[in-house]
Amino acid sequence: MTEITRDLISDVEQFYFREARMLDNREFQQWLRLVTTDVEYRVPVRYIPQPDPKKKETEAFLGVEQELSQGLEPDFRKENFFILSLRAMRAFKLNSWTDNPPARTRRFISNVEVLPTDQEGCYEAYSNTMIYYSRHQKDNHTFTAQRKDLLRLEKGELKIAKREVIIDWNIITGPSLSIFY
């Protein structure tokens, strides 16, 4: 088990801030270098289930997990490196009508927690993200989500090997969930 040092926590925070800056500056091609080629990127659906009377009086009664899509249920997104690259590259085409003109975004990353895993050079990390998203003249939205990452050291560089994005909406009231979280 890898030890979690203050240095490591600081490295992870800096990594996230750099990532956010890249995405806000629309450097999506560079961003692709921050993820591993076997990356798993998932944004589950968050629906409202009927409360389970068997779980009442326990914390499981309110468990977030039961609100999320699982197994064969479609997520909002479940993507590999290929699909992420398709998204990243498309933005730079003249006829990519959702990115042209591009949205103005500002990401705020907080609540960073780094946890050990039993794999060498792999860490689990939680963080919250708040994304201010502005399209066209005044189509403005704020997304919030929890991110649960698996970070892996590759040649001394941190990379995202897995990311799960837990959105805080039931009905999505923004125009699209196509962005990178």
Partner 1 sequence: MPMDLPLSQLVSDDGSHVHRKIFTDPALYELEKQHIFSKTWIYMGHESQIPKVGDFITSFIAETPVIVSRAGDKEIYVTINSCSHRGVPVCRADQGNTRRFICPYHNWTFNNKGDLVSIPQERKVCNKPEKAELGLKRVPRVETYRGLIYACMDENVEPLTDYLGGMAWYLDCFFDRFDGGIEVIGSPHKWTINCNWKLPVENHLGDIGHGPYLHGSILQGTPQVQELEDTGLNVVPKPGHGLSVRLMPEGTPDEMCMFGMDGVAGMDPEVNQYLRESHKKVTERLGEVRSRLKPLCYSVFPNLSFLWPNMTLRTSHPRGPGQIEYWSWFVIEKNAPEHIKEKLKIHYTMMFGPGGLLEGEDAEAWSQQFSGSNIDYADDRTYYYGLGLGEEESHPEIPGKVGSCFNEHYAREFYLQWRQRLEQGIQETSKLEIK
**Count of residues binding partner 1 (CB under 8 A)?**
35
Query: Is residue 53 reached through a cis peptide bond, with omega within 30 degrees of 0 on the bond before it?
Result: no
CA atoms within 13 A on the CB side of 153: 13
For the segment 96-125, give every residue that binds partner 1 (CB under 8 A). 96-98
- Spell out where 120-171 has E strands: 122-135, 139-154, 157-167
Q: State the DSSP code for 95.
A: T
Closer Cβ to partner 1, 15 or 41, answer by number: 41
Among 55, 56, 93, 106, binds partner 1 (CB under 8 A): 93
For the segment 136-165, give every residue that binds partner 1 (CB under 8 A). 139
Contact pattern for partner 1 over residues 29 through 48, marking x by CB under 8 A: --------------x-x-xx
Q: Give the residue from 98, 88, 168 showing the smallest Cα distance to 139.
A: 98
Report residue 117 as tokens: 């895993």
Residue 66 contacts partner 1 per CB under 8 A: no
CA-to-CA distance for 153 and 175, rounded, in angstroms? 35
Q: How far is the CB of 155 from partner 1 (least distance, A)?
A: 30
The residues that touch partner 1, with contacts defined as CB under 8 A, are 43, 45, 47-51, 69, 72-79, 83, 86-87, 90, 93, 95-98, 139, 170-178
